[in-house]
Amino acid sequence: MQSLIILGRQPALGLAELESLYGATNLRPVGEQAALVAIDPAQINFARLGGMVKFAKILTALDATNWGEIQKFLESAVPQYLGFLPEGKLRLGMSTYGIGVTPQRMQATGLSLKKVIRTHGRSVRYVPNVTVDLNAAQVLHNQLTQKLGWELLFVRDGQRTIVAQSIAVQDIDAYAARDQERPYRDARVGMLPPKLAQIIINLSNPPKNATVLDPFCGTGVILQEAQLMRYGAYGTDLEPRMVEYTQKNLDWLHKRMKTTQAFCCHCELGDATSHQWTHPFQAIAAETYLGRPLTSLPDPQTLQKIIQDCDTIHKKFLQNVARQAQPGLRLALAVPAWRAGNGFKHMPVLDSLERLGYNRIRFAHASADDLIYHRANQTVGRELVVLERK
């Protein structure tokens, strides 16, 4: 296992994403927040992975999980690595995952390492730990993935500790820029985060140079991310205003990111339940119709009506795709799931996918029940469903 990934807020989404791209046998979850991938770090395009926070190269593994033993290792090993770093003031940070240590203890270790480094003639600034792991903003702000930066990760793996060095973190500024600076947005149709759009596209696993179809394109977030991943983009939507918004947002993207202009892009008016798609496509990635926006759970009768309406639309949509799709076409869909009690209610159509002509993809490292993108107290979640046309 050559690469270490720190997973995002909902680790199961990242595990399914990695499994879609690299296969179950090349993936091993480590604890609750990390995964090892048997792929050379140079072969992983971290910028396209929406469910990941940090990307690291493995330095070593220790036969210990006690922080005292880890500190002893650091005090003896760090001086050996100093010769590989360029001249200048170093920046050092540490993050732990699954290790029983407090931020205060880590801070003490950091100050001890600072003294060790200074005795070897190097100047260093230690990034203090408020929590046991530095977030992406802290790593970016302190330039810990740059030439003079050094974020060390310690991940518990059973009775061992994996020691790794971050080489990239989630670029939160880039995500925010292309989300908030898009000229046309509409909260009424939902605000799909670019990170989630990336996950959905990766779950559809398009082949190289493929065109990705989004039959519910809205304001074009999935098509935008598909273009940035160097795929062709083909979108349709029932509402003319959404088609207009998508076209204008993609025009803005093409002016901002000139490299995307070489990849085909089409957007047209069309009802996903009946439209005949005329341009070729090799994968479908979409956030579908999520139903009426809800700020709280309605009465059971109203909720049942909402679920039935969504179910009817999705059944007609899947029937329409099945009439046009070739066997093997893969679909990754974010469909609605409604929080009720301690769990979620699902659309009945998900229990009849085989009769509609689809196999539902199951993941070795993530259960279907965990593939619901949601936040605390959110009534309507997005259930990620991956299908293959039979």
Question: Distance between CA atoms of 47 and 323, rounded to whole angstroms?
Answer: 35
Calculate mean pLDDT across residues 242-257: 90
Helix (H) / strand (E) element for 139: namely helix 136-141
Q: How confident is the model at residue 259 (pLDDT cuts 50, 70, 90)?
A: low
Percentage of the chain lying above the pLDDT 90 cut? 84
Is the pLDDT confidence value at 84 over 70? yes
Concatenating the DSSP letter of every residue in 176-243 gives: HHHHHS-S---GGG----HHHHHHHHHHH-PPTT-EEEETT-TTSHHHHHHHHTT-EEEEEESSHHHH
- pLDDT value at residue 67: 97
Does one domain contain both 162 and 187?
no
Does one domain contain both 160 and 195?
no
pLDDT digits (tens, 9 = 90+) for 198-237: 999 999 999 999 999 999 999 999 999 999 999 999 999 9
CA distances (Å), origin 289, targets 237, 274, 322, 333, 352:
11, 15, 18, 10, 19
Give the count of domains, the chain.
2
- pLDDT value at residue 247: 94
Q: Which residue segment(s) compose the domain that 160 sits in? A: 3-170
Does one domain contain both 148 and 220?
no
CATH number of the domain encompassing residue 188: 3.40.50.150
Is the pLDDT confidence value at 62 over 90? yes
pLDDT digits (tens, 9 = 90+) for 265-305: 899 999 999 999 999 999 999 999 999 888 888 999 999 99
CATH number of the domain encompassing residue 161: 3.30.2130.30
Contact 169, 254 (CB under 8 A): no
Q: How confident is the model at residue 262 (pLDDT cuts 50, 70, 90)?
A: low
Question: Distance between CA atoms of 346 and 291, rounded to whole angstroms?
Answer: 12
Does residue 61 lie within any of the structural domains?
Answer: yes
Question: Distance between CA atoms of 115 and 246, rounded to whole angstroms?
Answer: 55
Calculate mean pLDDT across residues 113-121: 93
Does one domain contain both 166 and 189?
no
Does one domain contain both 165 and 298?
no
Paired tokens of 15: 């595990």
Helix (H) / strand (E) element for 162: namely strand 160-169
- pLDDT value at residue 294: 86
Calculate mean pLDDT across residues 2-17: 96
Does one domain contain both 45 and 153?
yes
- pLDDT value at residue 309: 97
- pLDDT value at residue 323: 97
Q: Residue 282: how many CA atoms within 13 Å on its side-chain side?
A: 11
- pLDDT value at residue 190: 61
Contact 153, 145 (CB under 8 A): no
Does one domain contain both 136 and 258?
no
Does one domain contain both 284 and 153?
no
